[in-house]
Structure 1
Amino acid sequence: MTYNNLSLSNFVEYLRDSGWDYMDKFANPNLLVFSRRLIDESSISVLLPAKEDFSDYDQRVHSALGILSSFEDRSVDAIVKDITNFSSLTDKLEIRIISSFSEDGAIPLSYAASLIKGLKNLIVSAAYTEELPQRVFKRASQKAQSYSDSFKLGQTAHGSYIVTVESGSLENDDLAIAIEGNTLVTEPFSRRVMKRIHRSMYQIESFNEENNKLSDLVETGYNEGINANICDALLSLYYDNELMKLESKIKYSKSLKNTEELPEKITLNSADYYIIKVLAEALRENKPEDIELEGYISKLSSNSELTHGSINIISIHENKKHSIKLELNEDDYKRACDAHKEKKQVRITGIIDTSGKTWEVTNLTKFQVL
Structure 2
Amino acid sequence: MTARFTAKLGSVAAALLFASACQSTSLRTGAIHPPAGVITWGASAYRVGEAVADRGYRLVVHTSVAGHDARIRLSNAFGDRPVTFDSVYAGLRRTGAELVRGSNRRLTFGGARSVTVPAGQAVLSDPLPGHLPAASDLAVSIHTPDAAGPVTGHWLGMQTSYVTSGDHTAEESAASWTKGTGSWFYLDAVSLRASRGTRAVVALGDSITDGWHSTPDRNRRWPDYLARRLQRADTGIKGVANEGIAGNKVLADGSGPSALDRLDRDVLSQPGVRTVFLFEGVNDLKAHTDVTAEDLTDGYEELVQRAHAAGKCVVAATVGPFKGWSEWDQDAEAVRQEVNTFIRTSGEFDAVTDFDRVLRSPRDPARILPAFDGGDHIHPNDRGMRAMADAVDLKSLDCADPDPNTDPAPKP
TM-score, reference length from structure 2? 0.25
Q: Normalization by structure 1: what TM-score?
A: 0.27
More helix by share: 1
Query: Which of 1 and 2 has higher RCO (CA within 8 Å, sep 6+)?
Result: 2
